[in-house]
């Protein structure tokens, strides 16, 4: 059990070379267990997005060690060959804006990563419908993204992130555009899903509304993380 989830050790990322080089990450250590939702909090420019991009396998770290779901994906310059498949099969992404595909209805938006993984359309749509049901979106099935409210779109985006049952979910400010009630609803969904699918979830945020809901928080400043216990305020009371 200890081997699963997310393990990061001494992760470094330098942008550019020489005089203009920026040390965005200077030795980040992090560990997220399956089923756990941790917060990543820090001021602007502290390296949150950079860390998420490294974990999301869209940029290469400069040095350090990263492990997802028990598999080493980066070790001091060595990295997994097929990053695209890694992203598709192991990582669910949720962004600040939902970034749904505007020309697909919400079922197909959710089913798309599953279809990309080679699952037949009907089966992928079935899984998508179940997920949308679990997220209280049954009444909106068949709708296009543009017809949904912001909160509903964000739920669809979460469903898309979850559809391949990835061992890791990376959420970048997922509650920023939402009011308190909806932000809490999104957090509840992430926690429920993490428990149900044993997913390790990292939520990047500086949203004061949701910070108290984390049991563990990583503060990041100038590319270095500090772990801290959170309040772990229960969400059901909202």
Partner 1 sequence: MISLAGRDILHGWGKFLFTGLGLGLLIGVTLTMAGVYRGMLDDGRMQLDNSGADLWVVQKDTLGPYAEPSSLPDDSWRRLRTLPGVAQAAGITYLTMQVQNGKRTVRTMVVGIAPYGPGTPGWPRHLVAGRHITRGHYEAVADLGTGFRIGDRVRLRRHEYTVVGLSRRTVSSNGDPMLFIPLSDAQQAQFLKDNDAILEQRRRIAANPVLGRPTVVDAAIESQTSPHSVNAVLLRLAPGARSEEIVQTIGRWQRFTAYDRDAMGDILIGKLIATASRQIGMFLVILAFVSAAIVAFIIYTMTMDKIREIAVLKLIGTRNRTIAGMILQQALALGLIGFVVGRISAGLATPLFPKFVLLIPLDSFIGFFAVMAICTVASLASIRLALRVDPAEAIGG
Q: 106-116 and 150-162 helices cross at what angle (nearest 10)?
A: 20
Contact 230, 216 (CB under 8 A): yes
Structure token digits, residue 48: 């949150």
174 binds ligand ADP (CB under 6 A): no
Question: Which candidate, 233, 230, 231, places its Cα nearest to that of 219?
Answer: 230
44 binds ligand ADP (CB under 6 A): yes
The one segment of 19-27, 86-94, 195-203, 209-217 that binds partner 1 by CB under 8 A: 86-94
121 binds partner 1 (CB under 8 A): yes
Cβ 48 to Mg ion shortest distance, Å: 5
CA dihedral 127, 133, 139, 143 (to 10 degrees): -30
Size of the site for ligand ADP (CB under 6 A): 12
The residue from 49, 99, 209, 215 that contacts Mg ion (CB under 5 A) is 49
- Binding to partner 1 by CB under 8 A, coded x per residue (else -) over 39-78, reads ----------x--xx--x-xx-------------------
Question: Which candidate, 147, 162, 155, 200, places its Cα nearest to that of 178?
Answer: 155
φ, ψ of residue 131 to 5 degrees: the values are: -65, -45
Alpha helix positions (H), the chain: 48-55, 83-90, 106-116, 121-134, 150-162, 180-197
54 binds ligand ADP (CB under 6 A): no
Q: For ligand ADP, give the closer residue by CB, 50 or 199.
A: 50
31 binds Mg ion (CB under 5 A): no
In whole angstroms, give the CA distance from residue 230 to residue 34. Answer: 18
Footprint of Mg ion (CB under 5 A): 49
Binding site for partner 1 (CB under 8 A): 49, 52-53, 56, 58-59, 84-85, 87-89, 93, 95-96, 99, 101-104, 108, 112-113, 115-117, 121, 144, 160, 172
């Amino acid at each position: 059990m200890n081997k699963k989830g997310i393990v990061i050790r001494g992760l470094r990322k330098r942008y550019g070379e020489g005089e203009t080089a920026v040390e965005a990450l200077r030795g980040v250590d992090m560990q997220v267990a399956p089923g756990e939702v941790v917060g990543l909090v820090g001021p602007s420019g502290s390296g949150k997005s950079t860390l998420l991009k490294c974990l999301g396998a869209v940029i290469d770290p400069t040095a350090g060690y990263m492990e997802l779901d028990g598999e080493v994906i980066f070790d001091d310059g060595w990295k997994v060959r097929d990053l695209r498949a890694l992203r598709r099969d192991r990582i669910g992404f949720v962004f600040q804006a939902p970034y749904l595909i505007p020309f697909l209805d919400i079922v197909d938006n959710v089913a798309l990563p599953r279809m990309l993984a080679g699952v037949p359309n009907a089966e992928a749509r079935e899984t998508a419908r179940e997920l949308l049901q679990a997220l209280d979106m049954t009444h909106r099935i068949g709708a296009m993204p543009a017809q949904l409210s912001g909160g509903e779109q964000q739920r669809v985006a979460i469903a898309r992130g979850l559809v391949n049952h990835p061992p890791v979910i990376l959420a970048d400010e997922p509650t920023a555009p939402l009011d308190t009630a909806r932000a809490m609803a999104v957090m509840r969904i992430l926690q429920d899903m993490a428990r149900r699918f044993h997913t390790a979830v990292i939520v990047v945020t500086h949203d004061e509304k949701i910070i108290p809901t984390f049991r563990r928080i990583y503060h990041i400043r100038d590319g270095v993380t500090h772990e801290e216990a959170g309040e772990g305020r229960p969400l059901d009371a909202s």
